[in-house]
Amino acid sequence: MVVHEVATGREQKIPVDMTATLAVAVPEFSPDGEEIAYARNRAGEAPELRVVKRTGAEDRIVFSSQDVKDLSLFDWMPDGKHLLVRLAREDKTTELALVAAAGGVAPRQVRSPAPSLPGGDEGSVSPDGKYFAYRAIGAGGRWETRVLALDGSLDAPLVERPANAWNIGWTSEGRFAFYSAESGSEGIWVVTFAGGKAQGPAERVAGKLDDSIRSIGVTPKGTFFYHKSLLDLQVHLMTISPASGALRTTQVLSASQAPDWSPDGRHLAYAQSGAGIVNIRTLATAATRTLWTGLPGAVMALTWFPDGSALAAQGVGPEGTMASIGLRRVDLASGSLSDILLGPGWRQFGANASLSADGKVITYKTFEAGQVTKLMRYYLDTRQQEVLLERKPPQYISAFAVLPATGQIAVATQETDKGSSLVVLDPSTRELRPVHETPRGDYIPANISVSWMPDGKSLLFVTAPGRTKGTPMS
């Protein structure tokens, strides 16, 4: 852990034992700036809430319990004596609780169950220590900022905006700032809060920000700190001459990912990086429609329904955490959301959902305990599932692609320390027909690395050299 002094640029390194550590939560400075609280989750051990001096001295555990399986740190209380946390216990109950920064006493429960926050969204305590602001799914599946009174007297929307992308935090005078991604009103908004409710409408104080920006917090003097991702995901839209193959025009859609063409080829849907927002671009006019999906984080993949009426968006589900990764249907006419398929986590749910030609069957890949990989088929009408193909370690399924016209599935499998095999699976007979073997050490990567050509007679796939680091894929 590193403490960076903004005024001087000096840095203080604080040693943190990362042995077998799964995650270290974002550290939180105490109100006087002299101590740092952080939560540490380690494999096979009870999570720990720890406090350390900013000098690195006196790193101590203030709370840990064997019946707690997950611990999230939200904020210090203004008095500097307590920490607000979310506890998830082995009996599947959750609670919002106050933990003494000095340790030695049991947490004081504020509310059970605790509110579920989307991944990366920490929530924040008001300057007077009476309220906790957080995001949650509101009416119609849209995200809203809510305010919870820590004495239990209130839990209500602070302000309702259909595309509240993320919260910024409280200012010292009790105003609350958030960022809206609503089409036509993108920017930073501030609302005055007093007496348990907003005092008048929100006011926009800054315009649209780069899509990769996320909030760190607000200082007592009102300075907004944020981080900007250095991973620049971009969709490149290119026109190619069919006769010569020459590139004629190209356009970069900045901070974008997960592109997918509409069935008629007239529209391109793509997600904004790091946000639950989808843009639909009409090629003929270059007009772009913005659609709020209700997903709190990055949209991992988009797939058009064959009739063009909706999109299947893979991302974080209703719980707002990685515990509910799955597919949600986004209706393009109404913008309404409905759950298609949810899993207990992204590793279990997998990825690359593919719709059948009639839009009634979804094929997807799962990861299960012990890294068993399965190719699954899910029937939307009956909600039944079946296993098409299974591989156990040291073998696993890396990628697949469904040919809509026939239902045949191209599947790439790999074995540790060996090459990849590309086969064609007939779902009706389960027969596997070998197509290609990569050299030993090379592999076909997971996700979008296999695709059928339109005529169904050829396959396009990516190979990566496993032994030569830095060599481009081919």
Q: Check residue 22 and give its pLDDT.
A: 47
> Confidence class of residue 468 from pLDDT cuts 50, 70 and 90?
very low
Amino acid identity, residue 127? P
Examine the fold and report which residue of 210, 230, 250 is the final residue of a domain before the chain moves on: 230
CATH of residue 287 = 2.120.10.30
Task: Tell whether 57 is covered by a domain.
Answer: yes
* Residue at 11 is within a domain: yes
CA dist., res. 370 & res. 128, Å (int) = 48
| Residue with the two structure tokens 């843009």 | 279
Same domain, 42 and 147: no
Selected residue with higher pLDDT from 197 and 435 = 435
Q: Tell me how many domains the chain contains.
A: 3
Given 61, 81, 114, which residue is the final one in a domain? 114
- What string of DSSP letters covers 52-120? EETTS---EEEEE-TTEEEEEEEEE-TTSSEEEEEEEETTS-EEEEEEETT--SPPEEEESSPPP--TT
Would the pTM of this model clear 0.85, i.e. be above it? no
Residues 200 and 150 in one domain: yes
Residues 1, 110 share a domain: yes
In a shared domain, residues 138 and 158: yes
Q: Which residues are within 8 A (CB) of 183 and not within 5 positions of it... i.e. 6 or more apart?
A: 163, 289, 290
Give me 215's structure tokens.
């909030």
Provide the CA 424 distance to its chain's centre, in angstroms: 32
Same domain, 250 and 336: yes
Mean pLDDT of 215-231: 73
208 & 174 share domain: yes
Residue 94 domain boundaries: 1-114
Both 96 and 49 in one domain: the answer is: yes
pLDDT tens-digit series, residues 346-389: 555 666 788 998 999 999 888 765 578 899 999 999 989 899 99
| Sequence-distant (≥ 6) Cβ neighbours of residue 244 within 8 angstroms | none
pLDDT in tens, 56-115: 888 889 999 888 888 888 889 998 999 998 888 888 888 889 999 988 888 888 888 877
- Grade residue 234 by pLDDT with cuts at 50, 70 and 90: confident
Predicted pLDDT of residue 429: 93
**pLDDT of res. 15:** 77
pLDDT at 155: 86
Please write the tens of the pLDDT for every residue from 151-188. Answer: 888 888 887 654 556 788 888 888 888 887 766 778 88
Mean pLDDT of 3-31: 72
Q: Rounded distance, CA 186 to CA 68, Å?
A: 40
Final residue belonging to a domain, choices 166, 200, 230:
230
Nearest to 402 by CA among 356, 367, 433, 466: 356
Residue 217's pLDDT is what? Answer: 75
**Of 277, 325, 331, which Cα lies nearest the Cα of 304?**
331
With cut-offs at 50, 70 and 90, classify the pLDDT of residue 143. low
> With pLDDT > 90 as the criterion, what percentage of the chain qualifies?
20
Token look-up 């210090």 returns 76
In a domain, 108, yes or no: yes
pLDDT for position 327: 82
Same domain, yes or no: 185 and 254? no
User: Does some domain include residue 452?
Assistant: no
